[in-house]
Amino acid sequence: MKIAVIGDIHSNLEALTTVLRETERLGVTDYICIGDTVGYNANPHECLEIVRNLKLLGIVMGNHDSYIGSDDELRGFNPQAAQAVEWTRQQLTKEEREW
């Protein structure tokens, strides 16, 4: 069994698919996701779907995941990051946000 640890994807589909191509080439079979699957970039749906379909041994919720999954007031984010969280909240379905 080969395991890859992935994280800080921040909705960056191009980077995620590049990493997954390389892990496939290396024979990785299982994954651990250390959070922040969504946030900042333009492909939250796609990145969530890909990560959800990986053989995950474990997953941790990152701070962006946590804020996007809730309606809590944003604290500790710079204005650009807060704007990205709000945009991502609007893009995702309720079910995606709850995952």
Task: Provide the CATH number for the domain around residue 40.
Answer: 3.60.21.10
E-strand stretches of the chain: 3-6, 30-33, 56-59
Say how far residue 57 (Cα) sits from the centre of its chain. 16
pLDDT (mean) for 59-70: 94
pLDDT attached to residue 17: 99
Are 64 and 39 a contacting pair, CB within 8 Å? Answer: yes
Q: Which residue range forms the structural domain that includes residue 90?
A: 3-98
pLDDT confidence of 6, banded at 50, 70, 90? very high
Total of domains in the chain: 1
31/54 Cα distance (integer angstroms) = 7
